[in-house]
Amino acid sequence: MATESQAEAAAPAPDSDCCPICLADYKAPCRTPCGHVYCAECLLSTLHSWGAGKCPLCRQGVSVYSTIGVADDVPLRMPDVSTIFGLVFVQGGHAGVASYHFASPDDCWISYADAPEEWKLDDGSRPMPKKPFTAVAFDAATRTFHGTVLWEEATFDGASRWEYVMVFSEDYNLIVGGQMQEFGPDGAARDTHRFPTQLVYWRQRPSPTTLGGCTFVQGGTVGLASYHFPTDHFDELPYEQLEAPYISYEVAPPFWSQDDGSAMPRKKPFINASYDGATRTFRATIYWEPPLHGEARWEYEMHFDEQFETIAGGQVRAFDAQGAETQQHTFGVDLSYVRLVEERQQMAALLETLSADEASHTRE
């Protein structure tokens, strides 16, 4: 396997000053770990919103954290944290369900505060709400955590000790490698549970306190009639002075079309938008010209839960060109929307990549 320096030497030199993506002169060139050079803006356009993806030329994994500017040797982006301490990692998005808490080097634990009732130790008791890690060690250079959980008073599914190794992503958003090894009371190794395929954990961030900056999706997909509330100052009016909320149809299937056969717009802005922060209620109108399935106007009312996790209530009322109401859909019943959590999307993309790589190796 080639080293990083060998990869850089083997990469095509930008002697023509031509970016392989835009085929124009380089602007703010950057170099990936695999040694390829692109305009920084061009490379960023190929990456996921969290700053990771594959090199357009060789398809090796790249990120904004490991790609450096040619002029200054500085990464395109630095992580917002440089340690696990102060962070919480959750599975399924819920703290207290075997979530990992790294308060400090001397205070790390697994939380079972909200664990399902059926989670029991072998003596029938419940796991303690705060189960500490012992023998804790963290190597910042490799972003690797080591820790042990002891089940001495009562075994957990036959295990008396869990030995953890966790490897974190460059941005500390995911646990991307490592394993939990079980040991029985006799010291014999038992089952091994691997990150991230069997143990799926991502970083928990504080819940938003307002609608501004949130995106709500159905089916986990951005651009499939997803709702975007982009401004960080959503409680400020008038909206005309801010970036307007909108519906995104960027990845809508081709058979989604307006009545004249035209494609769905990539962005459909909400009109006459209003938001009541006290009741967490958003109201707005969408106009369709040409009509969409005979409908010319949609009237929205959305009620958000306290954590802005879901659209918990409200409805969409559809009207034809004559103003007659044609149908109504209810949020939480007919329409299921949840807030987009970028770390969850990032994990889904990682698991998809790992699955594709495994399938490719199986075929070889």
Cβ-based neighbours of 168, under 8 Å, separated by 6 or more: 84, 143, 144, 145, 174, 175, 176
Residue 228 has phi, psi (to 5 degrees) of -120, 130
Is residue 153 domain-resident?
yes
Alpha carbon distances (Å) from 159 to 40, 116, 122, 163, 189: 50, 19, 9, 11, 9
Q: Do residue 182 and residue 294 come from a single domain? A: no
pLDDT of residue 12: 44
Q: Do residue 220 and residue 197 come from a single domain? A: no
pLDDT of residue 40: 96
pLDDT category, 233, cuts 50, 70, 90?
A: low
Domain stops at, among 177, 203, 229: 203
Q: Do residue 154 and residue 109 come from a single domain? A: yes
Is residue 78 domain-resident?
no
Q: Do residue 59 and residue 107 come from a single domain? A: no
Q: Do residue 225 and residue 250 come from a single domain? A: yes
pLDDT of residue 317: 99
Q: Do residue 96 and residue 61 come from a single domain? A: no
Is residue 222 domain-resident?
yes
Both tokens of residue 222?
């951005």
Is residue 97 domain-resident?
yes
pLDDT category, 363, cuts 50, 70, 90?
A: low
pLDDT category, 5, cuts 50, 70, 90?
A: very low
Percent of the chain with pLDDT over 90: 79
pLDDT: which is higher, 195 or 234: 195
Q: Do residue 160 and residue 111 come from a single domain? A: yes
Is residue 77 domain-resident?
no
Q: Do residue 133 and residue 242 come from a single domain? A: no
Count of structural domains within the chain: 3
Is residue 43 domain-resident?
yes
ω into residue 20 within 30 of 0, thus cis? no
pLDDT of residue 361: 64
Quickly list DSSP for 273-333: EEEETTTTEEEEEEEEEEEETTEEEEEEEEEE-TTS-BEEEEEEEEE-TTS-EEEEEEBTT
Is residue 94 domain-resident?
yes
CATH number at residue 34: 3.30.40.10
Q: Do residue 114 and residue 39 come from a single domain? A: no
pLDDT category, 362, cuts 50, 70, 90?
A: low
Report the chain's mean pLDDT, rounded to a whole number. Answer: 91
Average pLDDT over residues 191-209: 96
Question: Coil, strand, or helix at residue 347?
Answer: helix
Indicate whether 6 pLDDT > 60: no
Q: Are 315 and 329 in contact (CB under 8 A)?
A: yes
Q: Do residue 288 and residue 260 come from a single domain? A: yes
Q: Which residue has the tokens 């990456």?
A: 47
User: How many other CB atoms sit within 10 Å of the CB of residue 345?
Assistant: 18
Look up the domain containing 335 and give its range: 214-339
Residue-wise pLDDT for 68-125, tens only, equals 999 999 999 999 999 999 999 999 888 999 999 999 999 999 999 999 999 999 999 9
Domain stops at, among 143, 176, 203: 203
Domain stops at, among 178, 203, 228: 203
Q: Do residue 152 and residue 222 come from a single domain? A: no
Task: Mean pLDDT check: name the lowest of 42-56, 313-327, 349-363.
Answer: 349-363
Task: Look up the pTM and report it.
Answer: 0.79
Is residue 357 domain-resident?
no
Q: Do residue 197 and residue 243 come from a single domain? A: no
Both tokens of residue 86?
């102060």
Cβ-based neighbours of 130, under 8 Å, separated by 6 or more: 109, 110, 111, 112, 113
